[in-house]
């Protein structure tokens, strides 16, 4: 089988969507699928489009921000579809696999130009992300997003909650399949003994990731426990997080590492003792947190809220500790419990590591995705 994989996240190497994309490509190739990535990372077809820049430059004087993004996205989508048709002229794929993004109609245009079925990866509804960031999404964002979903022959989403959102938007239930994220298990590493105990968070500094609640919980904890909080990531909330980290209450116990290459993130995880995914109370909780799977891959006990898919993959008292969403005191208590019990940390971390190998590897994800791709391709096409 030949697959054209369209994923603009490769332009942001090291970010979660890029990590996911590389894992998908490797998993499919390991199963004998011929995968061609477009735009090719590092090629002339990736990165900033000069034509798109010209459109933005010419329109910014007359259009507000969101209409400008939509216009520039349409320009880029048309140009990418033309380039993709040329890219595949001598080796047409059997199916187009693409990651959904805001104001990106290229996947549907590419599939139409190549006359091939489209399988669309939807990891988040962009209009809901806007709301979580405190921005009212324009009507044309949701309309355009819905049109992109309806154009796909099949949709692969990362959670049952997200599948429900797609169905509520008019997508036929038979075209939607849930395949959660995953991770590849890392070699087990015994944690060093002694103090300080290192608590780690990996992710974007956005309101819906709950870093503010994590900081609030951390500064409440007894300084005699000798904890260190390590934050890996960046985002719009960073200035406020830096102020808290440098406060008297934090006492120099918080370390901000910024964005790191994925290889370095792995090293930070392996050098940590407790991992936290401090999402606030969210409805609907449509996420499939990549960080949680990577915490399990590193053999870390996890502290996370009892909501959405997290409740399915983190077993309270088995692979981590769950707490009521939004309960900062309970978050602090869970971290304190693990910080004071090294044996419990190792026990929960080992069980999470085992469970990931059994159920949540990228190999498992690849098998399920390949089944979807094969079901989409006509019987007389592909292999």
Q: Any idea what the CATH number is for the domain that residue 128 is in?
A: 3.40.50.2000
- Does the residue 138 lie in any domain? yes
Q: Same structural domain for residues 353 and 367? A: no
Q: Which carries the bigger pLDDT value, residue 307 or residue 192? A: 307
CA atoms within 13 A on the CB side of 54: 4
Determine the pLDDT at residue 255: 93
- Does the residue 79 lie in any domain? yes
Q: Same structural domain for residues 171 and 122? A: yes
The torsion angles phi and psi of 163, rounded to 5 degrees, stand at -60, -40
- Does the residue 318 lie in any domain? yes
Determine the pLDDT at residue 130: 84
Q: Is 50 exceeded by the pLDDT of residue 61?
A: no
Q: Same structural domain for residues 156 and 293? A: no
In the chain, the number of structural domains is 2
- Does the residue 240 lie in any domain? yes
- 249-258 confidence digits (pLDDT tens): 777 889 999 9
Confidence of residue 383 (pLDDT cuts 50, 70, 90): very low
- 7-26 confidence digits (pLDDT tens): 988 766 547 788 899 999 99
Say how many C-beta atoms besides its own lie within 10 A of residue 217's C-beta.
Answer: 26
What is the span of the domain harbouring residue 268?
197-359
Give the H/E segment covering residue 35: strand 34-38
- 172-192 confidence digits (pLDDT tens): 999 999 999 999 999 888 877
- Does the residue 192 lie in any domain? no
User: Which tokens in the block code for residue 315?
Assistant: 């077993």
- Does the residue 354 lie in any domain? yes
pTM: 0.89
Classify residue 196 by its DSSP letter: P
Average pLDDT over residues 88-115: 93
Q: Same structural domain for residues 258 and 279? A: yes
The torsion angles phi and psi of 320, rounded to 5 degrees, stand at 180, -165
Mean pLDDT value across the chain: 89
Lowest-pLDDT range of 49-58, 146-155, 162-171, 325-334: 49-58
Residues with Cβ within 8 Å of residue 240, at least 6 apart in sequence = 212
Q: Same structural domain for residues 206 and 352? A: yes
Tell me the C-alpha distance between 220 and 239, whole Å.
21
- Does the residue 187 lie in any domain? no
DSSP alpha helix (H) spans, 194-341: 211-220, 238-245, 262-270, 290-297, 310-313, 328-339
Contact 155, 176 (CB under 8 A): yes
Confidence of residue 333 (pLDDT cuts 50, 70, 90): very high
């Amino acid at each position: 089988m030949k697959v054209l994989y369209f994923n603009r996240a490769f332009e942001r190497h090291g970010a979660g969507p890029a990590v996911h994309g590389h894992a998908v490509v490797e998993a499919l190739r390991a199963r004998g699928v011929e995968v061609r990535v477009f735009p090719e990372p590092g090629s002339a077809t990736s990165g900033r489009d000069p034509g798109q820049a010209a459109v933005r430059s010419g329109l910014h004087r007359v259009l507000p921000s969101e209409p400008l993004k939509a216009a520039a996205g349409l320009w880029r989508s048309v140009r990418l579809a033309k380039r993709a048709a040329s890219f595949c002229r001598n080796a047409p794929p059997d199916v187009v696999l693409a990651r959904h993004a805001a104001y990106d109609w290229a996947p549907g245009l590419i599939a139409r130009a190549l006359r091939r079925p489209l399988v669309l990866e939807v990891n988040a509804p962009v209009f809901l992300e806007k709301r979580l960031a405190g921005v009212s999404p324009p009507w044309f964002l949701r309309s355009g997003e819905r049109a992109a979903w309806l154009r796909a022959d099949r949709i692969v989403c990362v959670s049952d909650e997200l599948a429900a959102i797609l169905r509520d938007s008019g997508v036929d239930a038979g075209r939607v399949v849930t395949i959660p994220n995953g991770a590849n298990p890392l070699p087990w590493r015994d944690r060093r003994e002694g103090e300080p105990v290192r608590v780690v968070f990996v992710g974007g500094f956005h309101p819906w990731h709950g870093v503010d609640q994590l900081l609030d919980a951390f500064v409440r904890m007894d300084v005699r426990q000798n904890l260190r909080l390590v934050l890996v990531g960046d985002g719009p909330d960073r200035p406020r997080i830096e102020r808290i980290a440098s406060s008297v209450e934090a006492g120099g116990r918080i370390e901000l590492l910024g964005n790191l290459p994925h290889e370095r993130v792995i090293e930070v995880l392996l050098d940590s003792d407790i991992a936290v995914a401090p999402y606030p109370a969210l409805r609907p909780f449509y996420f499939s947190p990549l960080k949680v799977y990577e915490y399990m891959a590193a053999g870390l006990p996890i502290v996370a809220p009892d909501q959405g898919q997290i409740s399915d993959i983190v077993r309270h008292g088995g692979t981590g500790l769950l707490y009521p969403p939004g309960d900062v005191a309970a978050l602090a208590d869970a971290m304190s419990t693990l910080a004071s019990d090294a044996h419990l940390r190792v026990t929960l971390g080992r069980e999470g590591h085992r469970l990931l190998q059994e159920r949540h590897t990228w190999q498992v994800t690849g098998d399920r995705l390949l089944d979807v791709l094969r079901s989409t391709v006509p019987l007389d096409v592909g292999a």
